[in-house]
Structure 1
Amino acid sequence: MSPSRRAPARPLLALVVVTALGLSGCAADRVPPEPTAPAASAAVPGEAAPDALEALLASSGDPAACAVSFDGADAPPVLQSDGSLFAELPLPRREGAVFAGWYSDPEAAARRDAAARVNIADAVACGDGDRLVLHGAWATPEEAAGLDVGVPILMYHQFTDRPEGVDDPLRLNWAYAGDFEAHMAYLADEGYYLPSWSELSAFIDGELVLPEKSAIVTDDDAHSSWFDLAVPVLDAHHVLATSFVITKWRSEETPSPYVLQRSHTHDMHDPGADGRGRMVNWTAEEIAADLRTSADVLGASEVIAYPFGHYDERSKRGVADAGFDMAVTIEPGLVRPGADKLALPRVRIDYGMGLEAFVASLG
């Protein structure tokens, strides 16, 4: 994460924009490959013509509209709203090269400076004008293959403001709010990059290089303590997180621009006939129907979290048939290129995990 995520309103990481490709980040939405590859870590000129930017701005009714063009990829200019977090950026592909992200200036792109890399965890700062340029970087396939990056998907559940914890059979599921604040402050202060789910998918496919210090923050169940104790911490530190919501229980809009709400199923967070989760009791067709319902409520079908961590091959078929790209488990580990997208590991955060143990868990 760049230092700008610590600033209160408009970070100085300008040069960011919404892509016209949409919010899903699916492979089909990415820019088609070009016939030749640029040199590793070099930007390819591609700034939009002034008339195209003028047309974009003229078509917008947003007084904060900011027209952005892309240097380093064949992507059309798009509109973004100054001061808002932005939607998914294009993830271009080129034969013989691996995309290495968008940056705030060409020098940062050439260095692949993680502090200047931008994505949906950042806010747009258009400056005094109404146009920006975002700069792309690339790596050779050999260079990308030589990197040893593992991404922790951090898993939280409920939260308490009692340092001594709670008297509950699932006591370890409860994180002390003071520990959570220390964890999020560390991610922010240490400049951790917070990939979007589409970026993680491209990383798994070997189509995207992620910084060594990358992490994804998640919460299961959207318990009331998440809203009361955790979301204000995310807002304060400008940390992007995903809340896995059981849509039968909750259907309200996200509580914060820094919270992505994704599926924890609609009505499968209950035991099935054998006492295990419905995800391993229902048919693939029933699973897919339930997940489509949750996707309709949330307006997103990127990723789900398996209730209770229960899944099998039937579950994975149902997830895929419902149009989801990824699923997270409760199995321990880091996400690396080539991982099974329908059985991604996570890093469990238990009650009492202080900062030292948290840092160690990041790998």
Structure 2
Amino acid sequence: MTATRAEHRRRTSRRVRLRRTLVATVAVVLIAGGVTVFALSRGAASPPAPAPVADSTSAPAPPPSPTPTPLTPAEKLLATTTDPKACAVSFTGDGIALDPRVQTEDARYDGLPLPRADGRVFAGWYATAADATSLNAAERINGADLVACTDRQRTLYAAWTTPEANAAEDTELPILMYHQFTTKPEGEDNWLRGNYAYIGDFDAQMAHIQDGKFYLPTWDEVSAFIDGALFLPKRSVVITDDDADSTWLELAAPIVDARKLLTTSFVITSARTEPTPNRFVMQRSHTHDMHRAGANGKGRMVNDDADTIAADLETSAKILGAKEVIAYPYGHYDDTAKEGVRRAGFELARGIEPGYVRIGTDKLALPVVRIDYGMTVEDLEAKIG
């Protein structure tokens, strides 16, 4: 009996130990909401390191970097310059496919394009699409205007009209011709008295042009207008001075600068090589050394051969840094003089015959509206509107 009970206790003890061993064989560990399972060998002192399991709360992978937005043509153009005043001017409108151009803020627009198209006439660049549609001359942009931009960019809008509408406008473009100036209301008492304009009258005349919002075409616009390829409003005018006399530089040039009026000073470059007196005065050729009499008593332009004339004009153009237009000394010219102008690469030439520039005018014989001493603002208004 005692042996049987002892044997029974031994068996029971073995079963208990077996159950404990089996319970310890597999352990389940809950870690941060995940399950890690590992096996323990019978009698092992400690479990092995758990296998890594992905944490369901870890941050997602970052998204791929976005593709950079491509630069616009204007932005690409600005990237090529470090000039803080550089402005990329873009052009838009029906049939316009032009690259933007760099201009300089607070300087006059330089070389704005004049597109041409069969069957229609270019009517200029405007500040807004609405101004372009209405042909608002007061808002038309050209080389008489100063560049103003927002964030170094600006867009100009093209306008067009028909050849029939251009012809119906029947614009007669006056080219005003001044010479010398005086502070004496009674004028100068010498043989050139008629050439002098009283500076008070000149200022009043410039005020009339400024306040009347006359359009001031550049010479490339004058050329395109003559071709019938550019529309000019009736209230258009070109202001010129001959000889770049000291009275022009001291008295008149400051007035056109203050009133922001585009003018052309025809310079005899053998007598003057200085730069322009201000940004609103374009200096153009009055020849280099042809403003003197030739063998027949008239100007050299009607005495010398075409090659000599062309060489003189080339010298003048090199000094001035511009071609496009000349003024004949004394207004003297003939077919030989015209040929010399052409050979030198000039497109326009201004004489002294009275009249107005129209579609089809001879580009090498542009007429003028001469301003003589005693002409008042009322006299000017009668001539130009």
Provide the alpha-carbon RMSD of the alignment: 1.0
Match of 1:160 in 2: 182
1:267 and 1:232 map into 2 onto residues whose CA distance is 27
Match of 1:66 in 2: 87
Give the 3-state SS of the residue equivalent to 1:146 in structure 2: helix
- State percent identity of aligned pairs: 57
Structure 1 residue corresponding to 2:107, chosen from 47, 65, 84: 84
- Structure 1 residue 86, shift from structure 2 partner: 1.4
Give the 3-state SS of the residue equivalent to 2:201 in structure 1: helix
Match of 1:125 in 2: 148
Structure 2 residue corresponding to 1:105, chosen from 112, 128, 134: 128
Once the two structures are superposed, residues 279-326 of structure 1 have per-residue CA deviations (whole angstroms, 9 ceiling, x without a partner) of 101111111111111011111110000000111111111111110000
Equivalent pairs, count: 314
Structure 2 residue corresponding to 1:306, chosen from 308, 328, 333: 328
- Structure 1 residue 51, shift from structure 2 partner: 2.4
Structure 2 residue corresponding to 1:55, chosen from 76, 79, 85: 76
Structure 1 residue corresponding to 2:373, chosen from 351, 354, 359: 351
2:204 and 2:382 map into 1 onto residues whose CA distance is 14
- Structure 1 residue 50, shift from structure 2 partner: 4.6
Match of 1:114 in 2: 137
Structure 1 residue corresponding to 2:312, chosen from 287, 290, 296: 290
- Contact 2:169/2:233, CA 8 A, preserved across alignment: no
- Structure 2-normalised TM-score? 0.80
Once the two structures are superposed, residues 94-142 of structure 1 have per-residue CA deviations (whole angstroms, 9 ceiling, x without a partner) of 1211100000000000000001101011111113x22211000001122
Determine if the alignment matches structure 1 residue 265 to structure 2 residue 287: yes
2:165 and 2:195 map into 1 onto residues whose CA distance is 40
Match of 2:260 in 1: 238
- Structure 1 residue 207, shift from structure 2 partner: 0.5
1:67 and 1:251 map into 2 onto residues whose CA distance is 32
Match of 1:329 in 2: 351
Match of 2:250 in 1: 228
- Structure 1 residue 236, shift from structure 2 partner: 1.1
Larger relative contact order (Cα-Cα within 8 Å, sequence gap ≥ 6)? 1
- Structure 1-normalised TM-score? 0.85
Structure 1 residue corresponding to 2:209, chosen from 183, 187, 195: 187
Match of 1:341 in 2: 363
Larger Cα-atom Rg? 2
1:326 and 1:125 map into 2 onto residues whose CA distance is 30
2:357 and 2:71 map into 1 onto residues whose CA distance is 41
Match of 1:44 in 2: none
Structure 2: gaps of 5 or more residues? 1-69
Structure 2 residue corresponding to 1:250, chosen from 253, 272, 276: 272
Report the AA paired with residue 142 of structure 1.
Answer: E
Match of 1:147 in 2: 169
Report the AA paired with residue 121 of structure 2.
Answer: V
Once the two structures are superposed, residues 22-78 of structure 1 have per-residue CA deviations (whole angstroms, 9 ceiling, x without a partner) of xxxxxxxxxxxxxxxxxxxxxxxxxxx952111111111111221111012221111
2:300 and 2:107 map into 1 onto residues whose CA distance is 39
1:137 and 1:214 map into 2 onto residues whose CA distance is 17
1:334 and 1:145 map into 2 onto residues whose CA distance is 15
1:287 and 1:82 map into 2 onto residues whose CA distance is 38
Report the AA paired with residue 252 of structure 2.
Answer: A
Match of 1:3 in 2: none
Runs of 4+ off more than 2 Å? none
Match of 1:13 in 2: none
2:334 and 2:81 map into 1 onto residues whose CA distance is 47
Once the two structures are superposed, residues 330-356 of structure 1 have per-residue CA deviations (whole angstroms, 9 ceiling, x without a partner) of 000000000000000000000000111
1:50 and 1:178 map into 2 onto residues whose CA distance is 53
Match of 1:75 in 2: 98
Give the 3-state SS of the residue equivalent to 2:273 in structure 1: coil
Give the 3-state SS of the residue equivalent to 1:172 in structure 2: helix
Report the AA paired with residue 83 of structure 1.
Answer: D
Match of 1:46 in 2: none
Structure 1: gaps of 5 or more residues? 1-48
1:69 and 1:309 map into 2 onto residues whose CA distance is 41
